[in-house]
Amino acid sequence: MAFHKYILAIALFLGSTLLMLGQDQPKIDSLFQVLRTSKQDTNKVLLLYDLSREFFNSDIVGSEKYSNRALFLSQKLGYKRGIALSYNNLGIINYYKAIYGVALSYHERSLELMTEIGDRKGMAGSHNNKGAVYTQQGEYSMAIEEYLNSLRIMEDLENETGKGKAFNNIGLVYYLQGNYPESKAYYKKALEIFRKRGDQARISDILNNMGIIAYEEGEYQNSLDFHMSSLDTRKTVGNHRGEATSYTNIGDVYAATEAFEKALEYQKKALEIQEELGDKKGMLSSMKGIGTVHSLTGNSEEALKYMEDVLELSSEIGAKRELRDAYNDISNIYTDMGDYKSALEYKASYSQMKDSVFSEQTVELASSIETKFENEKKAKEIEILKKENEIQVLELGRNRILIISAIIGLVLALISIFIFARINREKRKAMQLLQLQNENIIKQKEEKEVLLKEIHHRVKNNLQVINSLIRLQCAYTEDKEALDLFDECQNRIISMALIHEKMYEAHDLSNINIEEYITQLAGNLLRSYRLNQHVELIINVEIEHLSLDSMIPLGLLLNELISNSLKHAFEGRESGEITVNLKKTESNMFELFIGDDGIGLPADFTFNSAQTLGMELVVTLTEQLDGTIERVDKKGSYFNIVFKGLEQQRTDIREAMRTEKSVVAA
């Protein structure tokens, strides 16, 4: 059913104003007229920004064009607020194009600039928009964190509308997680705010959302009451598009209760309004809803008629997803009618469209990521070269001052006490200047370290984008074995991304907090497998830090062994334990003891006989760490891995280099 697509969308902040529907053509004409005579200043930046907003709902390509023009002019003028607003616009545009990695990058840049110029309302908007991206990516905990950041700022500013939007967005995230009690609690907070402010439009949207939750919980009468209240409010404020949405949702409730005549009545009311508004996307949903009701009541001829109309309209407006789904729906109707030849023809068209849509999305996303990465890489290289040049200039200046000071000292040593005192004053000034220059050099070095941390941050983001690509592929795959393989790949990518995240957060780039990393990795895997059993993680780490070189193979090794336990160890059991102990031995080796108290491995198990990719990876990664692995004779499945780690290899290399230098010196 089309029911879920009518939940209130996330409230995005376009600049400092909520994105509104519709396009004001007289306003656009007026903006163009002013733009033709405007100078290259900040006022022109704001004109281009306003044009981007006006074009958003009718021409997203035009909106992106004017946002890029505003960004270029802002950068040329050094107008930071204009740059921040342009980044925000481009982030929202890429959000609606479903290029979420790029959208997130733009909102992060906007947040940095809003923070720098002290625009707290803009900061709240950027936090909110980051939350919207995380919501679409399924990163719900991160989304709620961003919404709460936005909420705290809006509370400080006493901005009630902003607080209401944040409550609404948090409610939506809990809805998507299936946590309906929390979702309703936040919707009620938002509803209370908007009722006090008399904001009827948003009141109707929240009532709509609460009706959907009641539908999901099977409380169809409550759902109907909420949607009827939402409909009355939308009629009062003249929101015709909202009326059509309410009619569609009411029709879906009646269909769920098998009141098919009323379901058709309300779906047709929705279609009538959408035809008057020229809302072709809405018409597609209503026509599909009507066709679905006819199909459920066995009226295949009428169902086929409406689905063919969906097919024609989808093709006309270039709605590829709806076109793809229409092929599938028509194939199912022909199957019900016993016309298997036609059913196969439409199913073939559906498969072809499915592959085409996925291919286009993948190419567009990959192209955007590649362009963004190259631009960022060039910018970082230029910035690093600039910093190095500044350091060289400072060093030359310091040497010049030292030489001049020495010459002046020799000359002034021959003159009177009065001149000597004057020389001392000059020397004190020179020392102050040297101290200032040394402080600048230290600052430059700190900035270079920040750049390196930023690179780790970007690597983590790119790994998350790759993870999103795999998740997108999963949506088009029904083969369970393939889906399991995709899940394993995603867990391996997440384990590596987590390392780069810890590098970004670490105060010392040469080390990672190993206990914190293992705890978070194990927790992520436990949530990923969503087991019905209660599995307790017992983690004991006596080592504070490991280098990045050792952490990557060790992280993948832990990922494989913990995943193996979660998948196989606790079948037919209600609970279990997974143990991870890591310590350093007296012989300066690392010892990892890991396993579970589950059903255990076969008695004849050996690492040579294991034919799975996971066990092959375990053996390979152990060798990479210069270690050995053996099975522990204990109930369950336990392993003991002793390894040197790449820290030991680095120590050996440094010692060899010192020895070689000593020989050359001799």
**pLDDT tens digits, 561-590:** 998 888 888 888 888 999 999 999 888 899
Residue 446 lies in a domain: no
Whether the per-residue pLDDT at 659 is higher than 90: the answer is: no
Higher pLDDT, 4 or 583: 583
Structure tokens at 85: 């607003």
Q: Which of 229-243, 497-511, 586-600 has the highest mean pLDDT?
A: 586-600
Domain boundary among 143, 169, 197: 197
Domain, as residue range, for 241 = 199-278
DSSP track, 331-349: HHHHHHHT-HHHHHHHHHH
The arithmetic mean of pLDDT across residues 294-311, rounded, is 89
Say what the pLDDT of residue 525 is. 84
Say what the pLDDT of residue 455 is. 60
Say what the pLDDT of residue 76 is. 87
Whether the per-residue pLDDT at 147 is higher than 50: the answer is: yes
Lowest-confidence range among 11-15, 18-22, 108-112, 549-553? Answer: 18-22
Torsion 517-519-525-527 (CA) sign = negative
Residue 385 lies in a domain: no
Dihedral over alpha carbons 487, 493, 495, 496 (to 10 degrees)? 170
User: Whose structure tokens read 């803009």?
Assistant: 122
Say what the pLDDT of residue 17 is. 36
Residue 366 lies in a domain: no
Crossing angle for the helix pair 260-277 and 240-256, to the nearest 10 degrees: 160
Residue 442 lies in a domain: no
Could you tell me if 179 and 61 lie in one domain? Answer: yes
Taking every pair of Cα atoms in the chain, the longest distance, rounded to a whole number of angstroms, is 117
Higher pLDDT, 226 or 511: 226
Indicate the burial class of 453 (C-beta count within 10 angstroms; 0-12, 13-18, 19 or more): middle
The arithmetic mean of pLDDT across residues 463-490, rounded, is 69
Residue 571 lies in a domain: yes
Give per-residue pLDDT as tens, 338-347: 898 888 988 8
Give per-residue pLDDT as tens, 190-244: 989 998 988 888 888 889 988 989 898 889 999 999 999 999 988 888 888 788 8
Could you tell me if 189 and 274 lie in one domain? Answer: no
pLDDT-derived band at 375, boundaries 50, 70, 90 = very low
Could you tell me if 182 and 234 lie in one domain? Answer: no
Q: Which of 4-8, 274-278, 317-321, 366-370 has the highest mean pLDDT?
A: 274-278
pLDDT-derived band at 592, boundaries 50, 70, 90 = very high
In this structure, what CATH number is given to the domain that contains residue 127?
Answer: 1.25.40.10
The arithmetic mean of pLDDT across residues 617-638, rounded, is 89
Domain boundary among 218, 243, 278: 278
Beta-carbon count within 10 A of 438 CB:
12
Could you tell me if 611 and 631 lie in one domain? Answer: yes
Structure tokens at 120: 């707290």
Say what the pLDDT of residue 114 is. 92
pLDDT-derived band at 31, boundaries 50, 70, 90 = low
Q: Which of 33-47, 335-349, 387-401, 596-610 has the highest mean pLDDT?
A: 335-349
Amino acid in position 520: Q
Q: Which of 15-29, 32-46, 153-167, 342-356 has the highest mean pLDDT?
A: 153-167
Instruction: Using alpha carbons, list the distances in angstroms from residue 627 to 561, 606, 607.
Output: 16, 17, 14
The arithmetic mean of pLDDT across residues 240-266, rounded, is 88
Helices (H) and strands (E) in the chain, counts: 23, 9
Residue 426 lies in a domain: no
Could you tell me if 58 and 173 lie in one domain? Answer: yes
Give per-residue pLDDT as tens, 46-98: 878 877 777 765 677 877 888 898 888 889 889 899 899 989 989 888 887 77
The arithmetic mean of pLDDT across residues 422-440, rounded, is 77
Give per-residue pLDDT as tens, 381-418: 555 655 666 666 666 666 677 678 767 877 887 786 77
Nearest to 128 by CA among 98, 165, 102: 165
The arithmetic mean of pLDDT across residues 458-464, rounded, is 64
Could you tell me if 628 and 595 lie in one domain? Answer: yes
Could you tell me if 156 and 77 lie in one domain? Answer: yes
Could you tell me if 180 and 212 lie in one domain? Answer: no
In this structure, what CATH number is given to the domain that contains residue 597?
Answer: 3.30.565.10
Lowest-confidence range among 33-37, 353-357, 450-454, 608-612? Answer: 450-454
Say what the pLDDT of residue 661 is. 42
Whether the per-residue pLDDT at 660 is higher than 80: the answer is: no
Indicate the burial class of 509 (C-beta count within 10 angstroms; 0-12, 13-18, 19 or more): middle
The arithmetic mean of pLDDT across residues 106-134, rounded, is 92
Overall number of domains in the chain: 3
Residue 332 lies in a domain: no
Could you tell me if 187 and 254 lie in one domain? Answer: no
The arithmetic mean of pLDDT across residues 176-188, rounded, is 89
Structure tokens at 446: 């700190």
Could you tell me if 536 and 637 lie in one domain? Answer: yes
Say what the pLDDT of residue 368 is. 43
Say what the pLDDT of residue 372 is. 45
Could you tell me if 101 and 25 lie in one domain? Answer: yes
Residue 410 lies in a domain: no
Domain boundary among 232, 260, 278: 278
Could you tell me if 190 and 224 lie in one domain? Answer: no
Residue 292 near residue 259, CB atoms below 8 Å: no
User: Whose structure tokens read 């063919």?
Assistant: 308
